[in-house]
């Protein structure tokens, strides 16, 4: 007793979208609005299922989609929200205007997650992982990473301060939420 299939798959086109299909979808939505995705393909003259039309519009054709490199502010927001919400990409995307959930998820997995691991931070818990800590990679942080909101928490007993702005051999790197 599951959900009915989104469409009758017989005769529907799969694979890459053509510019002509994109134009049909854009024109239909500009005229009629996004409405009912199940009935949209037939009304728009497309041989696609409704889900395919919805995903194409949401992830590629919407006029408000922001393209290009993520800003440092966007990266910081993603990290902060991920530490609170986990992998709820749609909820995170709702707080980053113009970015799609899929784009944010892909950016997390290909850039931010790897950077956190290199810095000795668990990308799931956002806590330091001494077993992942590679001091040589921390000492060679790029200027982009050092502006990324990471602070050194010193654990060396003989050190006179508990926080450092740059990496040293006496402590661990922690990302902070503005409250260390």
Domains, the chain, with CATH or none = 19-61 (1.10.10), 72-119 (1.10.10.60)
Residue bearing the bigger pLDDT, 56 or 6: 56
Q: In this prediction, what percent of the chain has a pLDDT beyond 90?
A: 56
With beta carbons less than 8 A apart as the criterion, state whether 126 and 83 touch. yes
- Is the pLDDT at 149 greater than 90, yes or no? no
**158: Cβ contacts below 8 Å, ≥ 6 apart:** none
Please report the pLDDT score of residue 104 as a whole number: 96
Query: pLDDT tier at 21 (50, 70, 90 boundaries)?
Result: very high
- Please tell me whether the overall predicted TM-score, pTM, comes out greater than 0.85 for this model: no
The residues that bridge with 163 in the sheet, in sequence order, are: 153
Query: pLDDT tier at 133 (50, 70, 90 boundaries)?
Result: low
Between CA 141 and CA 146 the distance in angstroms is 6
Question: Average pLDDT in the 49-67 region?
Answer: 93
Please report the pLDDT score of residue 34 as a whole number: 86
Per mean pLDDT, which range of 98-107, 142-151, 171-180 is the poorest? Answer: 171-180
Please report the pLDDT score of residue 169 as a whole number: 38
Question: Average pLDDT in the 47-71 region?
Answer: 94
Query: pLDDT tier at 81 (50, 70, 90 boundaries)?
Result: very high
Cβ–Cβ contacts within 10 Å for residue 171, how many?
20
């Amino acid at each position: 007793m599951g959900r009915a299939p989104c469409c009758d798959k017989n005769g529907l086109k799969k694979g890459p979208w053509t510019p002509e299909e994109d134009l049909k979808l854009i024109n239909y939505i500009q005229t009629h609005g996004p409405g009912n995705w199940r009935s949209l393909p037939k009304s728009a003259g497309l041989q696609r299922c409704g889900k395919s039309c919805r995903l194409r519009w949401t992830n590629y054709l919407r006029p408000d989609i922001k393209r290009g490199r993520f800003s440092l502010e966007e990266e910081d927001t993603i990290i902060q929200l991920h530490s609170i919400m986990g992998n709820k990409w749609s909820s995170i995307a709702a707080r980053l205007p113009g970015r799609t959930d899929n784009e944010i998820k892909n950016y997390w997995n290909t850039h931010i997650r790897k950077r956190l691991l290199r810095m000795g931070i668990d990308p799931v818990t956002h806590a330091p992982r001494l077993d992942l800590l590679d001091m040589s990679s921390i000492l060679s942080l790029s200027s982009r990473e050092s502006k990324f909101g990471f602070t050194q928490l010193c654990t060396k007993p003989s050190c006179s301060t508990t926080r450092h702005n740059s990496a040293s051999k006496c402590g661990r790197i922690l990302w902070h939420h503005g409250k260390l």
